[in-house]
Amino acid sequence: MRRQAKLIVVVAFAGFASIYLVAGSPLAPAVFGVQVVFAGRRSWWLVALQAALAYASVLVYGSSVGILGFVGGALLLTPLWPLALAVVASAALLGPADPVISMVLVSLVVYGLTRMIDRIEEVNAARLSLAVTAAAEERLRIAAELSAGLGGALATIADGARTGTPDVETARRSLAEARAAAAGYRAMSLAPEITTAKAMLTAAGVTVNVRVGHGEPLGPAGALLAAVLREAVTEIVRRRTATTCLIETLTEGDTVRLRVSNDGARTAGDENLGDLPAQVEAAGGTLTVELAGDASMTVEAVLPTTRPPARPARDSALSTALLAAVLVGFSVKALLMVGSLWPAALLAVIVFMQLRSVEGRHPVALSIMAVLTFAPIPLFGQAWLGVAGFLAGPILLAFSWPVALPLVAGIVAVVAAAGVLLGMPVPLTVNYAISTLVTGVVVYGLLRLAQLARELRESRDSLARAAVVEERLRAARDLHDLLGHTLAAILLKCELARRLDAERARKELDDVLTMTERAMEDLRTVSGERGELSLAAEAESARSLLAAAGIEVELDLGHGRLGSEVDTTLGIVLREAVTNVLRHSSAGRCTITTSARDGTVRLVVRNDGVRATLGRRGSAGIGNLTTRLAALDGRLDVRREHDWFELAATVPTQAWVPA
């Protein structure tokens, strides 16, 4: 994008220089070269050199004073911009009014194009820093939320453990809050929920077709749409009658639409969306359920999107103002050549059409401008030939290059032919033809650079929003995989301690104290502080926790020494696997084995007592683990065999990790 912007500016500057070169100034290419260098490197000696070359071109070679516009434009870009007025005054002393107007217009265009390049460079340079800042702000916000809630709850649980009082209620509430927070952070983006829904439906034997047409993040609308999708998919899985399902999202103006269709409906009242219709209505949207004659059901939710406050369109304002100045300046030149004011009405229409369609060129506007460009030539002659350049610019913007270039070539050819028919000298005819092309490039450049700056700014904002979404998803993963596991273990220990005698309860409460310390470390990790786990330590902790739950544990560790990233990731995988054993099974036996071979390490957790549930494969935990392992070029495999469930994680021992 930056290369395209610079190319536009170089072409425009070269066009100006070519006009003066054709007019007989051999120094025009040198003035052009200095201007190109100055656009990227602002030095006083370049301004001085350019001034010497431009004035030499005027005084020695008799060039038009319009070439001094390069000097005036360069000065406008420096703190000593008032000196540009002195250049205008010198041009007025050296030449007639028409070239002086051209000099002013060239100065404005040089200033405008260079400032647009500067703006594009500034926006591009701010892209990464803005994304980093946005992620850091989101991390601080999440840390403040979690510290105020879960941090205080962990302190309360630890105090109860020290005094011999297991605080079961606080532990249960903390676990529920952590799960709710993880779901909330995750649901702010609809994309992960779509992935999970697809996995759940596929596991249930439903053929899924997903069409994503929305942009992330959606903010509160994303959370609510994720809830609608979750409930709709849960109903499809619960009924077990669907064979196909379509999940579709679409952005329409300021609204986003979610549509979930399946072929397994039975009756019009077969849906169960709870209070979601009321929530959607309260958010300014609609939630409808339709049953078709072919027993297909469609759940459709439409919600307004939350958009960031509009930024001032400084880039468009600058380009529009400069274009207006160029149009008015040219109109004044044309009126001076005609020697009458009555054509001003036609010129006013052209100016109006140009400015009105700055954000997009329409066939009607182009047609009107084409008529006003060529029809008055027989009446006004040479004075009207310059108008053609203001038709070439919109055409370059309106059409693709294969279409626009032949059209612009045709306009230039018409100007040249008109010059011949009007009996103009050949050099003057060539000058008008080149000027038509240059004017078109300048108009195109002013508006296209504004578009590029706007596109780059939108790209920067999208990158920042994506960084915020990624930070929320990271926090959700860590909440679920790290803190969720530890809080579940704390709750189990607290409940166990409450049922045991004082001596045995004391041992369990000592474990609670140890776990609350680990939970505080996990909380800091969730808040963005880097934390490392040990697979061996997690395996010992898993054995203790499973044994406390009455599960026979077989532990066989043969993985050896691992890198910190691999060790931490497999530790997290083991935590989630143990949590699943406790939550999703009535296991009586569990085996945990690790092995290292051929540059890969493999962790396998296998347990019996699997319940008849369909949600496990598509759960958030499994999705989180898949994402973590994929980042290390690893994989996760799950397998069910009768009442046994096996989770296996394989990852290279020296995994490449992006910085």
Domain boundaries, the chain: 1-95, 187-304, 532-659
Count of C-beta atoms within a 10 Å radius of residue 218: 26
Q: Which residue has the higher pLDDT, 358 or 507?
A: 507
Q: What is the pLDDT of residue 312?
A: 43
Residues 207, 183 contacting (CB under 8 angstroms): no
The listed CATH number (3.30.465.10, 3.30.1240.10, 3.90.1150.10, 3.30.565.10) that belongs to domain 187-304 = 3.30.565.10
Give the least confident one: 463-467, 538-542, 557-561.
463-467
Residues 38, 139 contacting (CB under 8 angstroms): no
Residue 615 has pLDDT above 50, yes or no: no
> Strands, E, within 292-414: which ranges?
297-304
Residues 632, 655 contacting (CB under 8 angstroms): yes
Residue 378 has pLDDT above 50, yes or no: yes
Residues 490, 166 contacting (CB under 8 angstroms): no
Residue 632 has pLDDT above 70, yes or no: yes
Mean pLDDT of the chain: 79
Residue 659 has pLDDT above 60, yes or no: no
Q: Tokens standing for 223? A: 């959370």
Q: Which residue has the higher pLDDT, 570 or 518?
A: 570
What lies within 8 Å, CB to CB, of 197 at 6+ separation is 208, 229, 230, 233, 247, 618
What lies within 8 Å, CB to CB, of 251 at 6+ separation is 213, 214, 215, 257, 305
Give the least confident one: 84-88, 125-129, 232-236, 615-619.
615-619
Query: Amino acid identity, residue 123?
Result: V
Distance of CA 438 to the CA centre of its chain: 36
**532-659 has the same fold as 187-304:** yes
3-class SS at 151? Answer: helix
* C-alpha distances in Å from residue 112, one per residue of 56, 70, 103, 149, 271: 25, 12, 14, 53, 60
CA-wise closest residue to 329 among 495, 97, 524 = 97
Q: What is the pLDDT of residue 117?
A: 78
Distance between CA atoms of residues 651 and 384, nearest Å: 74
Q: Tokens standing for 43? A: 């030095």
Q: What is the pLDDT of residue 272?
A: 63
Distance between CA atoms of residues 275 and 287, nearest Å: 11
Q: What is the pLDDT of residue 593?
A: 94
Query: What pTM does this model have?
Result: 0.52
- Are β-strands 644-652 and 635-641 bridged in parallel, bridged antiparallel, or unpaired? antiparallel
Count of C-beta atoms within a 10 Å radius of residue 197: 24
The confidence band for 125, taking pLDDT boundaries of 50, 70 and 90, is low
The confidence band for 621, taking pLDDT boundaries of 50, 70 and 90, is low
The listed CATH number (3.40.50.1010, 3.30.565.10, 3.40.800.10, 1.10.287.70) that belongs to domain 532-659 = 3.30.565.10
- Residue reference for tokens 């030149």: 333
* C-alpha distances in Å from residue 642, one per residue of 242, 330, 589, 609: 24, 85, 14, 9
Helix (H) or strand (E) holding 638: strand 635-641
The confidence band for 248, taking pLDDT boundaries of 50, 70 and 90, is very high
